[in-house]
Structures are given as structure tokens and as C-alpha cells.
Structure 1
Amino acid sequence: MGWLEFVAAYAVFFASHSLPVRPSVRPWLEARLGSSGFTLAYSALSLVVLAWLIGAAGRAPHLAVWDWAPWQVHVPLTVMWPVCLILALSIARPNPFSFGGASNDRFDPTRPGIVRWSRHPLLLALALWAAAHIVPNGDLAHVILFGTFAAFALLGGRLVDRRKRREMGPEWQRMRNRVADAPRLPASLSDGTLLRLAAGVALYGTLLWAHPFLFGVSPLP
């Protein structure tokens, strides 16, 4: 199917990410699935469509934008370490500034965790993932794929900030100031944080192992 499948996967990807969160659609879905059910269903759908999109990019006609070199594989190998740690430290944690936060009413701006480093850690992880993977994938389809994700992540933070400021009103700036005054690193790591860091390391190892099965390419040199 070549480019046709790639274009179709792109269209479905953006539709699946934009339609369920529209103000006229999301409340209807949450009323039937519940808040947690909606988050799980939305996340599962996003992963399935993302896997299809990546696969479609691999099946698109190969048009080289730059030549491959052995050193390029070390870029994603290195960058995926912090990506996995960021994901482990941010998923299902309170974060009223961004999407995907859980139990935001329990957010403590004096102990913001990963939010002290980034208001949008999931978007940061997405940007790092995409930028790192574009280096060893210099064909046109993958340059479009990963370049779009990187741009989406960088611009998405501004869009989320705008929406959250409108929703939270003056509280957005007050809470942001309190987060900025918090230490970047806690005096000690809680058991929960240590478990999350361990989960991040495990995720990295799992991705190394599963990458050939999921995407047909080994990430190792």
C-alpha cells in the first residue's frame, strides 16, 4: 500500500487524538466509561494507532534524506534512558498543569517531583523520543513521522498551557510560582519514587528486548 497506508495511518492517528477530547465528545465518553476508563481507553487506542503509524512508515517507499552511519544508533540508545525515567516518574501522578494527571487535587506544589523540571513531562518524553529516533532513520517517511511528533510535542505544551490557564484562572500562575520555589531535587527519595525509578530502568530493558519483535529492527549496534 506504500504511501497510501502511511497517509491513512496519519489521518486516523490525528483523528483518534483530537475527536475523543473535544468538549462535545469527552464528557459523553466519560459519563459512560468513567474518568479512569476514559483515560485507559484513550491510552490504549493511542498506543494501537501509534504502532500502526510506525509500522506504516516502515512499509512506505524508502527515499533517503541523509545516509545512515553506525554512530547514529547510539543517539536513541542514550536518550531513551531519560525518556523511560521521565515516563516512570510522571505517568499517573498528580499534575494539574498538563494532561494525563491523576488525582490532581492531591498535587503538592512544595513537592512537585518531575513537574519541578517540566510542566509537561509526557510531552517532553515524546519530544526526546522523536528527536532521538529521527537521527538513525533518515528516510523521508520516518523524517516526516518523527519530525511531526517532535514538533507536536514542543507546540503542544503551549496549547495545553493556554487551555489550563483559562480553566484554572489566577490559580495557574500562583501554583506555578510555588512550584518554581520548590527544590529541584528532594532531600530524600520516597519508596514510591525509588519504585518508579526501578520501573523506568525495567522499561528501558524491556524496550531493548521487545524492539525487534515490535518494529522488526534491533536498537543495538
Structure 2
Amino acid sequence: MGWTGFAVVFAAFFLTHSIPVRPAVKSRLVSVIGLRGFGVAYSLLSVGMLALLIRSAGQAPYLQLWPQMEWHRHAAHLGMLAVCLILALGVARPNPFSFGGARNDSFDPDRPGIVGWTRHPILLALALWAGVHLLPNGDLAHVILFGVLGGFALAGRRLIDRRKRRVLGASQWAALDADRKAAPWVHAPRSWPVLALRLLTGVAAFAALLLAHPHVIGVSAW
């Protein structure tokens, strides 16, 4: 695959992420397959396109910017464990500040969980994922890939903040954010079994990614 093919896949990746969530398109899709069906379909599409994009970066012309060192891989493993734990703690939990939240009306700013650390745990995980993958992938195509995706995740925080301020109202958003920041960083969870299950899920996801990496991405994570 040449640079043109890589650029085409990159463009397709962003199109498939942006078009389905446009209000008019999303409402039409939801009316056909339902909100849950849309969420599942969009998630599968996102993961599939991401895997295709990573494969295309591996097939692009190789131009080394820095060599891979052994500690790069160890740092990537530790970083990915953190990514999986952040996702396990942040997905499908009350979070009125970002996307991916569930039961947002039950959000307790005095016990915000991981939302007390960051308003956007999923975007933080994406930025960290991109950052740790830059270390062992020092060729131009992968630097472009992970650099753009990491920058996209960081820039997305401000976009979502503006959107949520409009939805909630500036005063309510500011009050919730102030209460979130004032809460203890470490506090007792609502449910210890649920917390344990989320942490175990994160570790299991990390192990699954290590095993699936050569089959999905085409390169061993080891």
C-alpha cells in the first residue's frame, strides 16, 4: 500500500466516525435499529475501521524516524494496562460531562469515581493509547497515525465541553464541575463488587488485546 492508499483509509476512518453521529443521520439510523443497536453497530464499525487503519499504516512505505528499543515495548505494555483500566472504570458509568456515560441523572459529584480525575476518561484513554504506541513505532506512517489520533483525542475534550455546556446550561455545568473537583480523589465506591468487576474486566481486556494483537493488527505485541 502506498501513501495514497494510507490517506484514503485515513479519510474513510474519519468519515465513518463523523457521518453516523450527525443528528439527522443518527436519528434515522436509531429509528431503524434502535438506540442500543446503533451503539453496538457504531462501536463495531469504529473498532473495525481502527484495525484497518493500523494495518494500512503497517503496509505504508517504511521511513524510520527513530529505532525501536526494548524499553519502548515495556512502556507500551504498562501504558496499555492503564488504558484498559481507565476504560473499564469510565465506560457505561454516570458522566454528564462526556460521551459514553450511562444513567447520567444519577451522577453524584461528591463520589464521581474516575470522573473526579478527568471529565473525559475515554478520550484520556485514547490519547494515552496513541502516546504509548508512538514509542515502539518510530516510522513516519505510524507517527502520523498515532500523532493525529492522539491530537484528535486531546482536542475533542474542548469540543465536548462546549457541547455539554450548551446542553446542561453554563451555570449547571460549572456547578457540577466545581463539585466534581472538590470531591476526594480517592473515596469509597458505591459498590465494592462492581469496582472489583470493572478492574478485573480491565485486566482481562489487556490480556485479550495481547493475545489478539497479532491476529487483528498483524504484529505481535511482545
Tell me the TM-score normalised to structure 2 length: 0.94
**Alignment-mate amino acid for residue 175 of structure 1:** L
Q: How does 1:69-84 map to 2 (within 5 A)?
A: 69-84=69-84
Between the aligned partners of 1:107 and 1:21, the Cα distance in structure 2 is 24
Q: Does 1:175 align with 2:172?
A: no
- Range 179-188 or range 163-172, more displaced: 179-188
Q: Deviations over 1:80-110 (max 9, x none)?
A: 1111100111111121110111221222222
| 1:23 maps onto 2:42 in alignment | no
Match of 1:124 in 2: 124
**Which whole-Å CA distance do the structure 2 matches of 1:36 and 1:109 have between them?**
27
Percent of aligned positions that are identical: 55
Q: Secondary structure at the match of 1:47?
A: helix
Aligned to 2:34: 34
How far apart are 1:61 and its partner, in Å?
Answer: 0.8
Code of the aligned partner of 1:120: H
Q: Give TM-score, length-normalised by structure 1.
A: 0.94
Q: Distance in 2 between the 1:217 and 1:60 partners?
A: 14
Partners of 2:81 and 2:206 within 8 A in 1: yes
Aligned pairs for 1:1-221 within 5 A? 1-169=1-169, 170-187=171-188, 190-220=192-222
Rounded to whole Å, the distance in 2 between the matches of 1:32 and 1:164 is 26
The count of residues paired between Structure 1 and Structure 2 equals 220
In 1, Cα distance between equivalents of 2:19 and 2:148: 19
Q: Secondary structure at the match of 2:23?
A: coil
Query: Which stretch of structure 1 is more off in the superposition, 88-97 or 191-200?
Result: 88-97
| Runs of 4+ off more than 6 Å | none
Deviation at 1:216, TM superposition (A): 2.3
CA RMSD of aligned residues (A): 1.4
Please, which moves more after superposition, 202-211 or 155-164?
Answer: 202-211
Retained in 1: the 8 A contact 2:55–2:218?
no
Q: Which amino acid aligns with 2:158?
A: R
Of 90-99 and 138-147, the range deviating more from structure 2: 90-99
